[in-house]
Amino acid sequence: MPAVRVGIYTRVSTDLQAHQDEGSLDTQEARLRAALLARAGDHEVVRVFREEGQSGKSLDRPALQQMLDAVRRRELDLIIVTRIDRLSRSLLDFYEVHRLFEEHEVRFVSLNETFDTSSAVGRAMLKLVLVFAELEREQTAERTRLAMRARAERGLWNGGRPPLGYDGESGGHLAVNSEEAKVVRLIFAKYPEIRSTPKLAKWLNESGYRQKRYVSRRRGQTGGKPFTSAAVLGILKNRVYLGEVSHHGDRFEGQHEAIVAPDAFAQAATIIEANTRNRGKAPARTNYDYLLTGLVRCTCGSSLTTSAGKSRNGTVYHYYRCVGMNKKLDHVCPVKMVNAENLERRVVRIVREAARSPQIVEAALAEANAMANTRLAPVQEQVDQLKRDLQRASDEAEQLLSLILTQGLGQSATAKRKLEEAERRHSQLRTTLGTAEGELIRLQSQQLDMPVVVEALQGFDAVFNILSVDEKRDLLNLLVQQITVFEDRVEVRLHEGHAATAYLVENETVNQAAEHETPGVDPGFVTVSKWLPSPKPGQTSPSPG
């Protein structure tokens, strides 16, 4: 008779390595090998799966996944552990693992609980033990939370990476790192001058400063990254620099030395609050209808996103802001932002003129219908496939029900679970099919009729003014391919290579004299739009001279 192929699984988590009774990975493995020698029959250890520094809260563990793959390949007959919670602390997770064991006829043995799953009693005991293991984990977590609060009340650091300016010592104490403390004090001294965390982060990086460097047990020397706006803000708001420790919103006097004076910390907090309040008073973006969302791009290559701001006198401005400015502190952009009202007014003027050209409208409709057809095909295919899947699921459910009735399995828990799974899948398919059919109808409705659109666009002004915001966006998207904002002009590309441009000037007197213009940080559009010649095939529109 061939030997039983055994897989040994051992695990320790970072907070258990020195304290649990089974001790280290080597100790666990020695106990398991000794237990195998005492079992009847011939057992051969073919794989040892060692898991160091991994929590048992989830199944996302490298060695565990290797073991499960070996089970699927039918390379193992028996899995053995010292305790049930070495494999999993979650009842639901272990139930899934155990189903995999049963499916591939793999037995499971745990030494401390003295059972294996080859017997009905062992399987029943297994579920009971897992319940108590979950209870024990919750109680341990509760004890940990209470211990952490007790440490905070005593003024001790509760672990984790020490903040910039401090080094961690044994017993939860923090010691001042004199060189890093200088950087922290510099940040608090410089912030009232700069009054902006993104700009302060940029200044720190350009000055050669970096975030804290530290040694990780797993990765060695790490950290030392450039400052970000979020990192600077975290330092400015961290009360540990006042000699305090916090726990779930409560503050306690710490045993470590303060780095920052209370006045400097309070001054930074006041500026942060003022900046937050000013941003909070700016209108929500939904209060302004940004008509060009998704169409407008910056000459630097980035998209322009919606933004809003308020001047010191309370005037509200709405902008399209270069996304590159948000992503990189050192991003170079000649445009930065552009006044939304001015930009939209000039784009609509260009589109109004384009709507009078049958050639442009015809090209736009052809493009829109082609795009709709492109999107329509995969959705139609998805609907057809879902209908086939739904029919197959219905047939399988009927066959399962027939089998249960003919075999007298009506009271079987397994049969009930199978029926519930079949019904759940059938319901999910119906829901997904309904969504797909709705999308199909929406795409089919996007097919446009040329005579109807041309007739509507002949009265562009009357039509545009009564449209909803979404309908206005749809109309602009119909005629416009892309809008590019340059430092001194905006270019609107339409279909079939047609393009128009409107110029920007920096003359403040002209800008203020322009009718209905809203002054902002950027110059306004004051000239009438100018049509550009259509390029030859394969060429781009020429730039205005």
Just list the catalytic residues. 13
Helix (H) or strand (E) holding 342: helix 340-354
Q: What is the DSSP string of 99-168?
A: HHHHHTT-EEEETTTTEETTSHHHHHHHHHHHHHHHHHHHHHHHHHHHHHHHHHHTT---SSSPPTTEEE
CA distance 434 to 383: 9
| The pairing of beta strand 499-503 with beta strand 489-494 | antiparallel
Sign of CA dihedral 125, 126, 131, 137: positive
DSSP 94: H
Find the angle CA(542)-CA(543)-CA(545) to the nearest 5 degrees.
120
CB-based contacts of 157: which residues, under 8 Å, 6+ apart?
151, 166, 168, 172, 173, 174, 240, 245, 254, 256
> Looking up tokens 């030494």, which residue turns up?
111
Q: How far apart are CA 422 and CA 286, in angstroms?
A: 44
| Cα–Cα distance, 162 to 346 (Å, whole number) | 54
Cα–Cα distance between 525 and 342 in angstroms, integer? 6
- Please report which helix (H) or strand (E) contains residue 320, including its range: strand 316-322
> Cα–Cα distance between 429 and 431 in angstroms, integer?
5
Q: Using an 8 Å Cβ cutoff, are 213 and 222 in contact?
A: yes
Which amino acid does the sequence have at 328? K
* CA within 13 Å, CB half, 429: 18
Q: How far apart are CA 339 and CA 525, in angstroms?
A: 10
Q: How many CA atoms lie within 13 A of 159 on its CB side?
A: 7
Residue with tokens 């919750």: 138
CA dihedral 168, 169, 173, 174 (to 10 degrees): -40
Is 158:245 a contact under the CB 8 Å cutoff?
yes
Quickly count: other Cβ atoms within 10 Å of residue 154's Cβ: 13
What are 22's two structure tokens? 């089974």
Which 8-state DSSP code applies to residue 431? Answer: H
Q: Which tokens sit at 375? A: 């999107």
